[in-house]
Amino acid sequence: MRIILNLITLALQGIITLIALVAIYMIFVLLDYQGGIDAFVGTILFQPIIGGLISTVTIGICLLIGLPIRINYRINTWWTKRVWLSIFNVFIGLSLLILSLLPSLREIITTSTEDDGFIQREIPNTALAITGWFLTGFSLLHLFPPYKFRIWTENMIKKVYNGES
């Protein structure tokens, strides 16, 4: 019974994290949109697919890093009793993503054009964006329901499963 609840929780955490990360990715894509029909087609058709792939890889990495939270009972209990920690880290991650977009923190890169020219472009701060991306992904993926709610749910399911009212 506990395994089923853990799998349902993991599936919900993964879906919520995937949706949030793809949304963040698409916001960054739209902020970088330069115009033109070819860029529009790429933005509409291909960027959501690329965002989904990058988000899936991020979820895999965060799941691997956070495996002790899921496997070790003591760490899991400690983490789930402190739901505020995950919520706080989500806000920190989103704040870092927003900070990476500030004009004073943006980075300038030089790119080549089709006619062998060079263009300087401003991009979001890479270090802040990557840190915010992974912190947001990790925190959303490991945002468990509160400990007391989990225990109550397990007890209710056991009662229903055993035929008690």
User: Per residue in 114-145, is it b (16+ CB within 10 Å) or e — as a string?
Assistant: eeeeeeeeebbbeebbebbbbbbbbbbbbbbb
Assess contact for 162 and 1: CB atoms under 8 A. no
Span 106-122, mean pLDDT? 82
User: What's the confidence (pLDDT) of residue 154?
Assistant: 79
pTM of the model: 0.85
Please write the tens of the pLDDT for every residue from 1-55.
678 888 888 999 999 999 999 999 999 998 887 777 777 887 888 999 999 999 9
Q: Can you give the length of the chain in residues?
A: 165
User: What's the confidence (pLDDT) of residue 90?
Assistant: 97
Can you list the alpha helix ranges (DSSP code H) found in the chain? 2-31, 37-41, 47-65, 67-71, 73-80, 83-99, 126-141, 147-161
Span 101-112, mean pLDDT? 87
Please write the tens of the pLDDT for every residue from 132-160.
999 999 999 999 888 788 788 878 887 87
